[in-house]
Amino acid sequence: MATCNHLANECTDCPEEIQNYWLGFIAAKDSLDDDDSASIASSTGSNKKRKVASNGQTEIDDFFENRELPESKAAAIDRALIRAFVCCGIPFAVIDSPFFRELLYQLRPNYTPPTRKVLSESLLNQETSRVNKAINKELEHSQNLTLGNYFLLRK
C-alpha cells in the first residue's frame, strides 16, 4: 500500500495516467463515496425529533444506542476524525490519550477509534488521495488558470 500511496501522491516522475489510476484506487478503497456519507449525515442529523411513546415518555433507545455500529458509519467517523486532526493541527498522539478516548466513547459508545498508527498512515493516505482526486477533478473542469505571486508594494 505504501507504493500505491507513493505513486498516487508523492512521485513526481510517475506518468499522469498512472497517478490518476492509483488516486482512484486508493480513494475507492474507502467503502463510502462522498454521496453516501452525505446521505448518512442527513439521515442521522442532530435535528431529529425524539420518539415519544404513546404515554408521553421518551424511550431509552433515544439516549443510548445499543446496536452495533455499521461499518459505513464507522468509516464516516474515521474520515471526519482524520480531517479534524489534519485541519486543526492536532498531534496524532492525542488519539492514544485516555481522555480523548473517553470523549469519543461518550459521544458514540459503539465506535472504536483507530490507533495512532492507523490514523497517521492508512487513514491519512486515504484522505490525501481523496483530496488529490477532488483537486484533479476540479482542475480538469477549470479554464484560464493563473499562477503567480502578488506583493503589496509600499512607497
Range of the domain at 55: 32-41+50-138
Question: Is residue 65 situated within a structural domain?
Answer: yes
Asked if 2 and 126 touch (Cβ cutoff 8 Å), the reply is: no
Question: Is residue 61 situated within a structural domain?
Answer: yes
Q: Which residue's C-alpha cell is 490518476?
A: 20
Would you give the end-to-end CA distance of the chain in angstroms? 54
Question: Is residue 128 situated within a structural domain?
Answer: yes
- Is the pTM here over 0.75, yes or no? no
Question: Is residue 5 situated within a structural domain?
Answer: no
Question: Is residue 110 situated within a structural domain?
Answer: yes
**pLDDT by 10s per residue, the chain, length 155:** 778 888 788 888 888 888 888 788 877 776 444 444 444 444 444 444 445 556 667 766 656 666 788 899 999 999 999 999 999 999 999 999 999 999 999 998 899 999 999 999 999 999 999 999 999 998 888 888 777 766 665 55
* Alpha-carbon span 104 to 114, nearest angstrom: 11
- Which cell numbers hold the place of 152? 503589496
Provide the domain count of the chain: 1
pLDDT of residue 141: 86
Question: Is residue 14 situated within a structural domain?
Answer: no
Question: Is residue 113 situated within a structural domain?
Answer: yes
Question: Is residue 123 situated within a structural domain?
Answer: yes
